[in-house]
Copies of this chain bind each other. A is one copy, B any other.
Amino acid sequence: MNKEIASTLFESLASGVRLDVFRLLVKNAPTGLVAGEIATELTLPPTNLSFHLKAMTHAGLVNVTQEGRYQRYRANLTVMQSLIDYLTAECCTGHPELCLDAGEASACCDSD
């Protein structure tokens, strides 16, 4: 995890639509959902959803696998965990005493 990747992930999560998609996929982990199910659940035009799913896939926030003519999307929880670790490290850099209960932040040393 570095600044550029983190920035890309933040961009992915900055949109209300994409945050909704991600949360929905987390809720449906580890099975995931096919694109049509996501569109139905969030009442989004398929073309619009595709646009956002593409961005999220590119960012690594979700994974996609083909199932016949369906595309199944799953939240990438590993990447999310890396982002959390990065944030924790950034938040504590040189100031572990300032963070509330982030005592387990083992990655507090390698910033940037």
Contact assessment for B7 and A90 in the assembled complex, using a CB-CB cutoff below 8 Å: no
Contact assessment for B7 and A14 in the assembled complex, using a CB-CB cutoff below 8 Å: yes
Q: How many copies does the complex hold?
A: 2
Contact assessment for A99 and B83 in the assembled complex, using a CB-CB cutoff below 8 Å: no
Q: Which residue of B lies closest to A23 (CB)?
A: B90
Q: Looking at chain A's contact residues, is the secondary structure mostly helix, strand, loop, or mixed?
A: helix
Chain A count of residues within 8 A CB distance of the other chain: 39
10 nearest A-B pairs in the assembled complex, by CB-CB distance: A10-B14, A10-B13, A14-B14, A11-B14, A80-B91, A81-B100, A10-B10, A77-B98, A84-B87, A29-B95
> Which A residues lie at the B interface, using CB under 8 A?
3-4, 6-7, 10-11, 13-16, 19-20, 22-23, 26-27, 29-30, 77-78, 80-81, 83-84, 87-88, 90-91, 93-95, 98-102, 104, 111-112
